[in-house]
Structure 1
Amino acid sequence: MRLKSALAKTAFVLGLIGAQCVSALPAAAAQDTIRLVLTAQLTILDPILTSAISTRTYAYLVYDTLIAIDADGNFKPQMLEGWDVSDDGLTYTFTLRDGLSFSDGAPVVAEDAVASIKRWWEVDSFGKRLKAATASLESTGDSTFTLTLSRPFGHVIQALGKPSSVVPVIMPARIASATPSNKAVTEYIGSGPFVFDSENWTPGSKATFHKNDLYKPRSEPASGLAGGKDVKIETVEIVGIPDSSTQVAALQRGEVDYLQSVPQDFVPLMEADPNITVQNYTGTDQYIAGAVINHAIPPFDNPKVRRALQAIAIPAQFMAGLGLGEDQWTACKSVFMCGSPLGNDAGVADLPEGSVETAKKLLAESGYNGEPVTLLVASAVHDHNRLGLVLEGLMKEAGFNVTVTGGDWPTVAKMRWSKETTENGGWNIMPITWSGHDLASPFTNYAIVNNCTDAYPGWSCKPEITDLIAQFEEATAPDDQMALARKIQELTFEDVKFLILGQYSRSSAYRSDLKDFVNVVMPAMWSVHR
């Protein structure tokens, strides 16, 4: 209780400081405009080109998906009227619902869906697996297309409806077919509930979206990312405010309407304000705090040195560093998120005891000889910065020779792809936060699905995991899937692919005059109104 009281006092003081800084912000938005502040700045506008959560938020405003996941975790038709599956499970026939059109007025046809899927599956890990199991994908009319498998693949619907990066959004075939998957699109035409105002976009500062009058919502109520996206406002603005105290002060003053992530220091202040509603999340709408480990260069190419890192993955310390109360986090160590269908405890009992003393002992036994270790931190992202501070301190206590580098998120997101040695600008370990939607499946969990590939920073390789994922492709029974997930988790811990530093709920907050928010971890602006 004393800790919470201290945090509340700190938040109050910081809020006052932020209020003094907020005068530079624009005047309060009009009644038909909602202003959002995202966790990280919006800098990339092609949802196929990045896994950034800010770009995913943009994508769900501008584009739509064939299939979507509802609040109960069920996959539902979204742009589709439905689908049929042949008796042998190898042929899927999909039918688009009537009346769909893109924001430029062109009707959505099956060829748009086919071209978009083919662009998506060139880059997405789940999509690549679907592509490898596909014999053909072709339109069979304006509203129908068929996917024929060359072998059993029990996760077609989950692939096309995945809410995690990279999301298989639908864009016009003329754009999808003409733009290689490693090049950014230059037209931002979707069939989603909003239209992006590209002419007035200032990267990282302001992005504006207007209601898409051509959008045809489904008839059923909105649920999660599925259902009727019935837009009730005219304009959404995503604004960039890097400083947390300034973000909070702007929300209190009504100059912005929504904060995607509220630092815990400020939550008591938000909860005490009758004009603000704090929103919390459970299950896969939570986050895992983690650390990506670079297996490609010393010293973490040595599994014994990586094992020493596991001993300092002490959730209580990292969650305290985020300022979280005991009811907001769990020491869960499942790589698939506790609360998800595949969350489990396999391999947890074999992890080293969480303590600095254990880390020192393991490090001494590993052969580590004081080699420099570069900690890469996105210091402008609140949670990454806090996690980095704790990680730096614990690593130094354990005996690592640590140097910190980094910057804002776009800078770090680019730096993390370097395989250079630390002397040439490379890195060794990087704190990160992952959404539960990204981790809950072997097909979407970044480090696991990209095992033994160059597709995700860290470049870890445990060949047995690749074999297990291949078996998971054909597994449709829940018991079989869980058995495989447990084996994958055991090998993930054995390989020390990444660190799990705690599972937690990060609060969002919005002005209380906003009603009918859809309770998903990203700001879904359909249904919302004042």
Structure 2
Amino acid sequence: MDRRSFLLGAAGAAALPLAAPASAQGATRLLKFIPQADVAVVDPIVTTAYVSRHHGYLIYDTLYGVDNEFKPQPQMAEGHAVEDGGRRVTITLRQGLKFHDGEPVRARDAVASVKRWAARDAMGQAIMAVLDDLVVEDDRKFSFRLKKPFALLIDALAKPASPVCFIMREQIANSDPNTPIRDNIGSGPFRFAASERVPGSLLVYEKFTDYVPRSNGTPEFTSGPKVVNFDRVEWHVIPDASTAAAALQSGEMDWWEQPTADLLPRLSRMRNVVVEQYDRTGLMALVRFNHLHPPFNNPAIRRALLGAVNQADYMTAVIGTDKSMWREGVGFFPPGTPFASEVGLDVLTSPRDYDKVKRDLAAAGYKGEKVTLIAASDFPSLNALAQVCNDMLQKSGMNVDYVSTDWGSVVNRRANRNPPDQGGWNVFLTFFTGLDFFSPAGHLGLRGNGANAWFGWPTMPKLEELRQAWFDAPDLAAQQKIAAEIQEEAFREVPYLPAGQYFQPWSYRNNLTGVLKGLPMFWNVSKG
């Protein structure tokens, strides 16, 4: 793996599936997909929820994509030119790009979209810090004019880590980046059929017939020609795992994104079903604190809980006892990647002692304050993580208010900065792909930039200083040294608790071909 590759992260039984509308029933060009959860937020910029990102890839396009080696490749861009010693980068759009309403994609749409994305994204914010101006040159060209070269500019525009730099209409992209948009007009290979949406149950996407795929390259990950072989893609939200498995087995559904660990052996024995791992970077589980309100505005209380974390408990709950499917002893960067480090890991790997944790919490000033933990009951892997966390906090002597709700409510509530008794929260559980956490560049969980940070909003100046030093480091060895310092500081400040790494397979009917690995993408796929 070369240097550019690893810098990209730099991110009761349910009802049976709804029948397709009459116009789609019996169609041979219909794909039925079971997503990990409902799309609570259709704006993929204001949230890091992966289901919103996957929704975004259907209806929006990107300036650049990444291939199977995580290298950036032109997508909407025809190419780019670098001038003035790296301080001017001019991108030219491909000809023939259209939005779903028939309007051409222009450079001003790209400029507005980059600005909206950069306000929410860790790497985007780093670009803005060195940007003098972002200039529309003509309808197809725009330029980044930089104070100093930014070597990761194209990588940032290409990265599939959330949030992704999706290109939107200028009028839409000019909206407040902190307020979710409602109008999903993109230029991607599918249109969103919003009128057919049934919240908590169904989302529908229709082929955009005016989409022009790239004429060259090979479909890999998010790059290459996006050739659509379906007139219609339906997402059926099925929270009950047994119902989902039965629908896949019967052929009612074609593809299930996140089968649960207990059903993997059954699925693997099904003659007409394929089970495969799709993301070699794995998933990094974490316990996220709200740093704005007691008790976790106190770093000593956050540190005390490091001694309570048993990563094996979290991992077996979410993916089972097969240790080839998960890792413990995991810090803030994915094991086996260039910035992974042993620094500070003893705090997670030493013997667990809840009596000591209770003493440490008391010494840190914990006085029995209520801890509101918001848990996604309809998202099996997150529900499993939350139950382990609830048990861990209670064994540590904390007063837990366990709020079990749907994932959409968690997504909305975690954006609430009010105190827990006013609709806010103290703790939630989630995961990121290892790609998101590969390096300090796009690692949202390690940002300490206060109000502009990811949900939890920590203010940690030292982490921010180290991150900037990492960007300025002259070579890989220097970057690795700084990454180790970042991990050491993270174990001192504890922006979140690392809960381990696991590898999630998906399953699909064996009459599907052309399924690309990386994340659920609906181009290149065919059904025999």
The two structures have a TM-score, normalised by structure 1, of 0.90
Q: For 1:123-150, what per-residue CA distance to the aligned partner results, in whole angstroms no more than 9, with x for missing partners?
A: 3232222122111111212322111102
**Counterpart secondary structure, 2:62:** coil
Cα distance in 2 for residues equivalent to 1:374 and 1:59: 31
Aligned ranges 1:248-259 → 2 under 5 Å:
248-259=245-256
Match of 1:212 among 208, 212, 229: 208
Structure 1 counterpart of 2:197:
201
| Alignment of 1:297 onto 2:293 | yes
Aligned ranges 1:389-404 → 2 under 5 Å:
389-404=387-402
Deviation, structure 1 residue 511: 0.9
Cα distance in 1 for residues equivalent to 2:181 and 2:495: 33
Deviation, structure 1 residue 479: 2.5
Structure 1 counterpart of 2:425:
427
**Counterpart secondary structure, 1:187:** coil
Match of 2:277 among 276, 280, 303: 280
Structure 2 counterpart of 1:30:
27
Deviation, structure 1 residue 310: 0.8
Change in 2 beyond 3 A, CA 1:516/1:352: closer
**Counterpart secondary structure, 1:499:** strand
Count of aligned positions: 509
Deviation, structure 1 residue 111: 2.1
State whether residues 154 and 476 of structure 1, in contact with CA within 8 Å, keep that contact through their aligned partners in structure 2: no
Q: For 1:66-94, what per-residue CA distance to the aligned partner results, in whole angstroms no more than 9, with x for missing partners?
A: 01111111111111121121252111011
Deviation, structure 1 residue 350: 5.0
Cα distance in 1 for residues equivalent to 2:400 and 2:173: 44
Cα distance in 2 for residues equivalent to 1:142 and 1:121: 21
Paired AA for residue 307 in structure 2: A
Cα distance in 2 for residues equivalent to 1:516 and 1:73: 19
Q: For 1:486-521, what per-residue CA distance to the aligned partner results, in whole angstroms no more than 9, with x for missing partners?
A: 21111111111111111001121111110110011x
| Alignment of 1:144 onto 2:141 | yes
Q: For 1:246-272, what per-residue CA distance to the aligned partner results, in whole angstroms no more than 9, with x for missing partners?
A: 111111111111111111011011001
Structure 2 counterpart of 1:8:
none
**Counterpart secondary structure, 1:406:** strand
Structure 2 counterpart of 1:417:
415
Structure 2 counterpart of 1:505:
503
Cα distance in 1 for residues equivalent to 2:448 and 2:26: 43
Paired AA for residue 180 in structure 1: D
* Larger CA deviation: 125-134 vs 362-371: 362-371
Match of 2:227 among 216, 230, 234: 230
State whether residues 447 and 453 of structure 2, in contact with CA within 8 Å, keep that contact through their aligned partners in structure 1: no
State whether residues 310 and 354 of structure 1, in contact with CA within 8 Å, keep that contact through their aligned partners in structure 2: no
Change in 2 beyond 3 A, CA 1:183/1:359: closer
State whether residues 35 and 238 of structure 1, in contact with CA within 8 Å, keep that contact through their aligned partners in structure 2: yes
Cα distance in 1 for residues equivalent to 2:177 and 2:389: 35
Match of 2:339 among 339, 342, 349: 342
| Alignment of 1:49 onto 2:46 | yes
Structure 2 counterpart of 1:309:
305
Match of 2:375 among 377, 385, 389: 377
Structure 1 counterpart of 2:6:
none
Paired AA for residue 302 in structure 1: N
State whether residues 22 and 250 of structure 1, in contact with CA within 8 Å, keep that contact through their aligned partners in structure 2: no
Deviation, structure 1 residue 213: 1.8
**Counterpart secondary structure, 2:309:** coil
Structure 1 counterpart of 2:112:
115
Match of 1:172 among 169, 173, 179: 169
Match of 2:317 among 297, 321, 326: 321
State whether residues 155 and 473 of structure 1, in contact with CA within 8 Å, keep that contact through their aligned partners in structure 2: no
Aligned ranges 1:465-504 → 2 under 5 Å:
465-475=463-473, 477-504=475-502
Cα distance in 1 for residues equivalent to 2:146 and 2:17: 57
| Alignment of 1:462 onto 2:460 | yes
**Counterpart secondary structure, 2:306:** helix
Structure 2 counterpart of 1:60:
57
State whether residues 40 and 381 of structure 1, in contact with CA within 8 Å, keep that contact through their aligned partners in structure 2: yes
State whether residues 283 and 339 of structure 1, in contact with CA within 8 Å, keep that contact through their aligned partners in structure 2: no
| Alignment of 1:190 onto 2:190 | no
Cα distance in 1 for residues equivalent to 2:92 and 2:435: 26
Cα distance in 1 for residues equivalent to 2:217 and 2:385: 41
Deviation, structure 1 residue 354: 4.5
State whether residues 310 and 352 of structure 1, in contact with CA within 8 Å, keep that contact through their aligned partners in structure 2: no
Deviation, structure 1 residue 227: 1.2
Match of 1:362 among 322, 339, 360: 360
Structure 1 counterpart of 2:5:
none
Q: For 1:185-226, what per-residue CA distance to the aligned partner results, in whole angstroms no more than 9, with x for missing partners?
A: 343222211122222222332221122222222221111111
* Larger CA deviation: 69-78 vs 358-367: 358-367
Paired AA for residue 308 in structure 1: A
Deviation, structure 1 residue 29: 6.4
Change in 2 beyond 3 A, CA 1:354/1:164: farther
Q: For 1:158-204, what per-residue CA distance to the aligned partner results, in whole angstroms no more than 9, with x for missing partners?
A: 22112112111112224323x33234434322221112222222233
Cα distance in 1 for residues equivalent to 2:423 and 2:517: 41
Structure 2 counterpart of 1:443:
441
Structure 2 counterpart of 1:12:
none
State whether residues 71 and 155 of structure 2, in contact with CA within 8 Å, keep that contact through their aligned partners in structure 1: no
State whether residues 374 and 403 of structure 1, in contact with CA within 8 Å, keep that contact through their aligned partners in structure 2: yes
Cα distance in 1 for residues equivalent to 2:422 and 2:501: 34
Instruction: Structure 1: state its 5+ residue gaps.
Output: 1-16
* Larger CA deviation: 24-33 vs 96-105: 24-33
Paired AA for residue 146 in structure 1: S
**Counterpart secondary structure, 1:98:** coil
Paired AA for residue 226 in structure 1: S
State whether residues 319 and 326 of structure 2, in contact with CA within 8 Å, keep that contact through their aligned partners in structure 1: no
**Counterpart secondary structure, 1:437:** coil
Deviation, structure 1 residue 477: 2.8
Change in 2 beyond 3 A, CA 1:87/1:350: farther
State whether residues 306 and 347 of structure 2, in contact with CA within 8 Å, keep that contact through their aligned partners in structure 1: no
